[in-house]
């Protein structure tokens, strides 16, 4: 028997990169229990990444989508 309360899909979130555009990906949390489960998401760099919602409660056997967004507005000059 697993002690995991939530299933997280995908297990690794890959956000496509495009300059000057907001890029995002979605995680799905699925409650594997018959009880309410609370969650909190923290980012490693809140200036570059936005997560919504950051906290919440997943209903028994329910699911919740979490959107993670990044925005790269700088332009870089590549060497010749």
Whether 4 has a pLDDT exceeding 60, the answer reads: yes
Q: What is the pLDDT of residues 45-66, one digit of tens each?
A: 888 888 999 999 999 999 999 9
Q: Which long-range contacts (CB under 8 A, 24 or more apart) does 23-28 make?
A: 23/69, 23/70, 23/71, 23/72, 24/67, 24/68, 24/69, 24/70, 25/67, 25/68, 26/65, 26/66, 26/67, 26/68, 27/65, 27/66, 27/68, 28/63, 28/64, 28/65, 28/66
Share of the chain above pLDDT 90, in %: 54
Q: What is the pTM of this model?
A: 0.77
Q: Note whether 6 and 31 are within 8 A (CB).
A: yes
């Amino acid at each position: 028997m697993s002690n995991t309360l939530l299933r997280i899909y995908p297990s690794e979130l890959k956000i496509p990169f495009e300059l000057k555009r907001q890029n995002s990906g979605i995680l799905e949390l699925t409650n594997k229990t018959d009880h309410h489960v609370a969650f909190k998401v923290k980012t490693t760099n809140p200036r570059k990444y936005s997560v919504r919602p950051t906290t919440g409660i997943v209903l028994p056997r329910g699911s919740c989508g979490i959107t993670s967004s990044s925005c790269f507005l700088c332009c870089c000059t590549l060497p010749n």
